[in-house]
Structure 1
Amino acid sequence: MKEISLYTIAFLGGIFLAVQAGFNSQLGNYLKQPVFAVVVTSFGSTLFGILLACLLTKKAPTTTLLVNVPWYLWFAGALFSMLGISFYFYTIPKLGISKVIVLGLCGQLLFSFLAGNYGWLEVPVELITPKRVLGIGAMIIGILLLNMK
């Protein structure tokens, strides 16, 4: 049952990211500036994150724990998040949400395929196998079919 719950949460996360992309591309259109829309969205995410952390966290991280975090981990995820979201905000009004999400998913799949195989970013190793190559190939064919006119 635990695995099904995790799959469901991951699936819902994908839906939420697609919904988020649609709303935030509208915000970027209204503001005529996708990067400013990312700033507004990030501020809102920070507020919701603080609220959720206060509701769900029993104990805050200690100062010792915070000081031991490598300096780049405080900023690297935020940089890639800002760039990825900005790219989405910029391209959704031009290409449409389904194409952007499908192309973004393709990028995520290919990167995660390599990162998993080599253990990049300290993720669990998932070696490239013929079955996984076939699966990625099927996804890429699907992406091409979805984007054909």
Structure 2
Amino acid sequence: MTSKYNLLILAFIGGVFLAMQGGLNTRLGILLKNPVLASLVAFFSSTVFALIFVLFNFKAIPTILQIREIPFYLWFTGGFFSVLGISLYYYTIPKLGISTMISIGLFGQLIFAVIAGNYGWLNLPLEPITLKKIIGISSMIIGVLLINIK
């Protein structure tokens, strides 16, 4: 059983990896002179690595019934939003800087996550907005401002 502490560490490491890939792939986009092409390269290599991980961790093949129960839109919308979001990162990082882009991007993620969790959007668990969350969001706004005020 994985403890919440271990999950928090993994989430932190995931955030570090996302910032690293943003910086590396932004450089690729600059050298290619096209952030969307950098996204294509990143997603292609991600597909290769994901395939390798699946092959080493594969437990069972989904049944035809399980596959048919998956709503059609779930096969492509996550990838669509991923390409848009990542391409926007690669486009804006060289213009804004990585700390500005990541702080503003995380702010957008947090705002959406709090609202989506409050209403249970996307079949997410309900997480009501509390005073503690409002204080946290307010603190993040102050942090984003402090990071970005020159």
TM-score, normalised via structure 2 length: 0.96
Matched residue, 1:69: 70
Higher mean Cα deviation, 57-66 or 107-116?
A: 57-66
- The Cα shift of 1:39 comes to 0.9
Residue identity opposite 2:3 in structure 1: K
CA RMSD, Structure 1 to Structure 2 (Å): 0.9
Amino acid paired to 2:86? I
The CA distance in 2 between the partners of 1:64 and 1:37, in whole Å, is 37
The AA in structure 2 aligned to 1:35 is V
Q: Which portions of structure 1, spanning 4 or more consecutive aligned residues, are displaced by more than 6 angstroms?
A: none
Unaligned runs of 5+ in 2: none
- The aligned amino acid for 1:43 is F
1:42-67 CA-partner distances (Å, limit 9, x unpaired): 11111100100110112222222122
Deviations 1:19-40 (A, max 9, x none): 0100110111011111111111
- Residue 107 of structure 2 corresponds to residue 106 of structure 1: yes
Structure 1 segment 32-71 matched on structure 2, within 5 A: 32-71=33-72
The alignment partner of 2:99 has SS state of helix
Structure 2 residue matching 1:72: 3-state secondary structure = helix
Partner residue, 2:87: 86
Long gaps (5+) in structure 1: none
In the aligned structure 2, how far is the partner of 1:84 from the partner of 1:17? 12
Identity of matched residues, %: 52
Q: 1:124 aligns to what SS in structure 2?
A: coil
Is 1:121 aligned to residue 110 of structure 2?
no
| Distance in structure 2 (CA, Å) of the matches to 1:138 and 1:121 | 26
**Would you say 1:146 and 2:147 are equivalent positions?**
yes
How far apart, CA to CA, are the structure 2 residues paired with 1:68 and 1:87?
32
Match of 1:13 in 2: 14
Higher mean displacement: 64-73 or 118-127: 64-73
Q: Distance in 1 between matches of 2:137 and 2:20?
A: 24
TM value normalised by structure 1: 0.97
Distance 1:74 1:101 in 2: 27
Alpha-carbon distance in structure 1 between the residues aligned to 2:128 and 2:75: 29
Q: State the distance in 2 between where 1:8 and 1:57 align.
A: 25
